[in-house]
Amino acid sequence: MSEWTRPRHLSEALDILALDPGKYRVISGGTDLMVESHLAPDRRPAYWLDISGIPELQDVVITEQGIRIGAATPLGLIRRHPEVVARWPMLAAAATVTGAPPIQNRATLGGNICNASPAADNSPVLLAYGARLEISQQKGSRILPYEAFHKGYRATALQAGELLTAIWIPYPENRSRSYFRKVGTRAAQAIAKVSIAALIEETGDGSIRRARFGLASVAAMPCTLPSVSHYLAGRFFGEISEAAVRHWVQQDVAPIKDIRSTAEYRLEVASRLVLEAIRMRSEIEKEDM
């Protein structure tokens, strides 16, 4: 029989984790972990730490630097939050396609991150926006760029005794255009075959100041496109070569093959979506391909 512990305050949760680092499996919404627990009962944790009752982990705060989202904030709240919809529309779009509404009302942004699925719906958006993670333990907190969080398939930078407590997302620049797209087998409630988020910042003369991309379901973990971003920086849109973009996508992506798709398909679709993001620059859509 499993032991279930449900602290009411963040300090209490961190004290429990510090007493025996590595003992507890942290759970909040449980939309992934409970399914996993039933499918593989032999790997079911003996000790659960339920953080769903900690109010400090469910705050959404607008600051001068951007937005701070508590790690246990449900995706349903995020997709409906007026500031998120107005200022970080890709995040609202990604939350909207993470399962059905009942799932969104339980699933949390922090859980979607820490589950570390290569197909996580919100990861591309967080990468494109340049999100940072607040990671806490009993002795204090540290801030980690989200792009440094994933270390491999289902592997993260979280250490024993640590807890993801918040996600910080800066304001996009005024001259920036965003693009989000999820490609799945069907229009709703599908695990992505490929998904992409792009944030393209322009200068006053119309050239690209900076382009950030996030992708999921194309590699063993969510990834960025550093070579593509470097190629685009400083160029005017009319100077961009499709062949060059495809070349640099191939340098950045090591596509995976699984039951949902082939590596060749993923690489081709990823290249097309990057080109579409560059050309359209302001579209946020979800569509089958």
> Which residue ranges form the domains of the chain, and what is each CATH number?
3-170 (3.30.465.10), 176-280 (3.30.390.50)
**Pairing outcome for strands 150-152 and 155-156:** antiparallel
pLDDT at residue 281 in the model: 52
Q: What is the mean predicted confidence (pLDDT) over 137-145? A: 97
* Tokens linked to 10: 């963040």
Geometric angle at alpha carbon 92, from 54 and 273, rounded to 5° = 130
pLDDT at residue 89 in the model: 97
pLDDT band at 285 (very low <50, low <70, confident <90, very high): very low
pLDDT at residue 33 in the model: 76
* Tokens linked to 186: 């069907």
* Tokens linked to 71: 């790690």
How far, in Å, CA of 258 to CA of 202, rounded? 37
Q: What is the mean predicted confidence (pLDDT) over 124-152? A: 98
pLDDT at residue 288 in the model: 43
pLDDT band at 283 (very low <50, low <70, confident <90, very high): very low
Q: CB atoms < 10 A from the CB of 64, how many? A: 5
**pLDDT at residue 106 is higher than 70:** yes
Q: Could you tell me if 103 and 124 are in contact, meaning their C-beta atoms sit under 8 angstroms apart?
A: no
pLDDT at residue 37 in the model: 63
pLDDT band at 118 (very low <50, low <70, confident <90, very high): very high
Q: Could you tell me if 179 and 197 are in contact, meaning their C-beta atoms sit under 8 angstroms apart?
A: yes
pLDDT at residue 186 in the model: 60
Percentage of the chain modeled with pLDDT above 90: 83
pLDDT in tens, 203-262: 999 999 999 999 999 999 999 999 999 999 999 999 999 999 999 999 999 998 887 789
pLDDT at residue 289 in the model: 43
pLDDT at residue 189 in the model: 64
Q: CB atoms < 10 A from the CB of 185, how many? A: 12
Residue whose tokens read 């496109």: 225
pTM of the model: 0.92
pLDDT band at 138 (very low <50, low <70, confident <90, very high): very high
pLDDT in tens, 169-211: 999 999 999 999 999 776 556 788 999 999 999 999 999 999 9
Mean pLDDT score of the chain, rounded to an integer?
92
**pLDDT at residue 13 is higher than 80:** yes
